[in-house]
Amino acid sequence: MDRESILQVLRAHPDNCIRAFHRGRAGRSGYSEGKVLVRHYGGLIPDEIVLKPVMFLKVQNDLCVTERWGNDLLGGCTWRLSSAAGEAAE
């Protein structure tokens, strides 16, 4: 996905977001992490689109962390459009 496509999905619904997660300790065996674009389209279960690191880096400056959960071993955060990025589309 290109930058504008990701931003378009995030602007389409107030619950759309990017969720990041990690398991294990960075630099150790068994560590994993990832990011998914959560897209609500009116159904009960939202779509999750796996984002490659380069995809996330394209939009990272337009996002802010709104929620953190877990700890160093298992956790993550939720990224949403920053207010400046949301206003820029209008």
What's the pTM?
0.86
* Domain-located, residue 61: yes
pLDDT tens, position by position, 56-72 = 999 999 999 999 999 98
Average pLDDT of 18-31? 92
Nearest to 69 by CA among 31, 28, 37, 21: 21
* Domain-located, residue 77: yes
Rounded to whole angstroms, the Cα distance separating 53 from 20 reads: 11
* Domain-located, residue 89: no
pLDDT score, position 86: 63
Tokens of 38: 């959560």
* Domain-located, residue 71: yes
Selected residue with higher pLDDT from 42 and 22: 22
Rounded to whole angstroms, the Cα distance separating 30 from 19 reads: 20
Range of the domain at 45: 3-82
Amino acid 26 reads: A
The domain tally of the chain equals 1
* Domain-located, residue 52: yes
* Domain-located, residue 25: yes
